[in-house]
Amino acid sequence: MDIERFRQHAQEAVERMAAYLEGIEEQPVRSRTRPGQIAAALPEAAPEEGEPMEAIFADLDRIVLPGLTHWQHPRFLAYFPANSSPPSVLAEMLTAAYAVNAMLWQTSPAATEMETTVLDWLRRAIGLPQGFTGVIQGTASEATLCALLTARERALGWQGNEAGLFGQPPLAVYASAEAHSSVEKGVMIAGFGRRHLRPIATDDAFAMRPEALEEAIRADLEAGIRPCCVIATLGTTGVGASDPLEPIGEICARHGVFLHVDAAWAGSALLLPEWRHLAAGVERADSFVFNPHKWLLTNFDCSAHFLRRPEDLTRTLSILPAYLQSRETGQVIDYRDWGIPLGRRFRALKLWFVLRSYGLEGLRAMLRRHIDLAAEFAGWIRETADFELVTGPNLALVTFRYRPGGTAEGKALDALNERLLHAVNEDGRTYLTPTRVRERYVLRASIGQRRTERHHVAEAWQAITGIARGL
């Protein structure tokens, strides 16, 4: 494709993007495609001869679009948001065109220096103290894995990478029973062994109980197992609970244990001074991650990872083969040493576009709107007969269930709510995901799309209650 054709098709692509976003509300939120349907519509092998863009665009409309679940739909209430915004999309388009690899400072100085700078902007914006240095990881899962590897190496006197883990003393990792599954995965990948992950009991608000953490650490010490790392969560995935960092940090400091804070979703809310109390005690953390790709209008992937001692991370991950040495090695930041992959996209650009285009006040206004909507939604649940608010609102997350005539606890009630969930998601006006709260099956509504307004949430609630009555 020559530049003239590229220019023409790029304009068509932009037109498609705008039309997509304009018409998104008319679509069912979750794709109605059946398993295998998209694959069956695609040829078995790549074409031998190149095809014109017109044919490719036509198949995009015919095959791909019906197979999309519309994450940017204003009535999308499932999972956590993976929201996006026009300035972020513009930056992603430019990033794709520049197509630089930001693995070393030298392989694009602007990408490296902008990453350092915008992460410091973010650090200030969320009130993390000075002395934390940021890096963009692909996902919170990767940041948590990096933290676990660093904690492991620190606990083993930097011998794990050298000698391997066979013959090393066992190390234990602690996280609340509500922690994200990426913790367990990281524990497996980093070689701790799943059986050395201690699920710590939570209190009535689903936050880690510090006394239970202290007890677990003591039990391990008595058994000759070395406590290595605590992973605290701000904003758990199930219900949005936040672990108390102050007492947890104190326990970690006393036992010399590494503290990683997973604030994947809730970290964005720390832009709001009125929610900073959630992170009280964060200055004791060794590592902190949150995802601008969740609730801060920045396209996936963009996970902001802050470290108190980045030199411990690079000591854990850096290797320097001859072909990666450069004249500036040692004088500049080479981000390849700060994460798992070597190659890295220029991800700071979209964050820069978003922060400049909205300003912190613009972002705060969106976060407050979502949090207020969740409070209002929780009010509707409380006021509606046969519905029960189970948790929240925690920031912009609520869980609830349908309980007609005060049906007794148990399998039948769980099954009824599961039927309701499937019916709501088939209907298409909104999209919810389930979770378990102390074994009970509940529905979860998370508000966070850029264009979600009060009437969208009201329409979603109307759909849910109407469908429930018709079950």
DSSP structure string for 193-212: -GGGEEEEPB-TTS-B-HHH
> For the stretch 84-111, what's the b/e string if a residue is b when 16 or more beta carbons lie within 10 angstroms of its beta carbon?
bbebbbbbbeebeeeeeebbbbebbeeb
What is the SS3 assignment for 255? Answer: helix
Sequence-separated (6 or more) residues with CB below 8 Å from residue 462: none
Binding to ligand PLP in span 208-247, by CB under 6 A: 233, 236-237
Smallest distance, ligand PLP to C-beta of residue 69, A: 16
Pairing of strands 133-137, 303-307: antiparallel
Stretch that binds ligand PLP, among 125-133, 222-230, 261-269, 365-373 (CB under 6 A): 261-269
Binding to ligand PLP in span 282-301, by CB under 6 A: 291
Looking at the Cβ atoms of 265 and 358, the one nearer to ligand PLP is 265
Looking at the Cβ atoms of 139 and 287, the one nearer to ligand PLP is 139
> Using the rule CB under 6 A, which residue among 180, 344, 345, 350 binds ligand PLP?
180
Are the C-beta atoms of 120 and 134 separated by less than 8 Å?
Answer: yes
Residue the block writes with tokens 């899962």:
141
Helices and strands in the chain: count of H runs, count of E runs: 15, 11
Cis peptide before 61 (omega within 30 of 0): no
> Using the rule CB under 6 A, which residue among 150, 303, 430, 452 binds ligand PLP?
303
> Using the rule CB under 6 A, which residue among 88, 107, 112, 139 binds ligand PLP?
139
If one asks whether residue 352 binds ligand PLP (CB under 6 A), the answer comes out as no
Binding to ligand PLP in span 150-179, by CB under 6 A: none
Stretch that binds ligand PLP, among 20-28, 102-110, 206-214, 260-268 (CB under 6 A): 260-268
Are the C-beta atoms of 138 and 256 separated by less than 8 Å?
Answer: no
If one asks whether residue 182 binds ligand PLP (CB under 6 A), the answer comes out as yes
> Using the rule CB under 6 A, which residue among 115, 153, 262, 334 binds ligand PLP?
262
Distance between CA atoms of residues 62 and 254, nearest Å? 61
Stretch that binds ligand PLP, among 28-36, 43-51, 249-257, 259-267 (CB under 6 A): 259-267
| Binding residues vs ligand PLP (CB under 6 A) | 80, 139-141, 180, 182, 233, 236-237, 262, 264-265, 291, 303
